[in-house]
Every structure is written in C-alpha cells, then in structure tokens.
Amino acid sequence: MTRRTERINRFIRREITELLQRQVNDPRLSGFISVTKVETSSDLRHSKVFISTLGNEAEKEEVLAGFTAASGFFRGELASRLRSRHVPELSFYPDDSIERGARVLELIEQGKANSG
C-alpha cells in the first residue's frame, strides 16, 4: 500500500465518522457505529469501508442498508473535501472485530475468576 493510499484511507475513515456524528439524518445510522477500517484500491476507484456496530443481526443488516442508501451522500461530501481527480466508489462491509475483542476479554476475566 502506498503512502497516498494510506492517507486516503485515513481521510475517508475520519470524514465518514465526522459525517455520521454531524450530518446524517438516517435513523438507521444513529446508534453506536464505528468505522473500523477503510481499504482503497491501488487505482483509487473503489473503497471498502468496514463498519462495526452493536446489536443483533437484524439491526446490523439495517445499519448496512442505511450505509448503502447513504453512499451517494458520503461520496458527494468526500468529493467536496478530497483533492483528487477521482472519488472512490464506496462499499460497506460488516466488521465484528470489536465484538470478538469484547468476547476475548470476557473469557479472560472468566478464566481469572475461575483460577483465583
């Protein structure tokens, strides 16, 4: 990954997080949502945005549907802020790393309680 791609990934992640906090009016995107990672292709035409949220599977599907519906809005906002010839197409994917991390911590605490 080039330095430019890394910068664009960080920029997209930061901007989408900020837009979620300030400008998105979709109720599906109002809960605890975290943009965990962005991967942009080397030609800068496509970005995979990984989203983590708490809730059951139906709620997570609703959040992804909200992001898909708002992808044009996000892309338009990025176009006005990104100094680049191309603004990548955004696609959104679930990321359960926060939940897995919480589960590992829970298991560690259980192990400590059982051994002590």
Task: List, in order of start, the domains of the chain with CATH numbers.
Answer: 3-115 (3.30.300.20)
| In the block, residue with structure tokens 């998105």 | 24
Neighbouring-strand partners of residue 89: 46
The predicted-structure confidence for 82-99, as pLDDT tens digits, reads as follows 887 789 999 999 998 877
| Helices vs. strands in the chain: H and E counts, helices first | 3, 3
Provide the pLDDT confidence category of residue 29 given band limits of 50, 70 and 90.
confident
**Which pLDDT does position 32 carry in this prediction?**
84
pTM > 0.85: yes or no: no
The predicted structure's pLDDT at residue 116: 66
What is the per-residue pLDDT across 73-86, written as a single tens digit (0 to 9) for each? 999 999 998 887 78
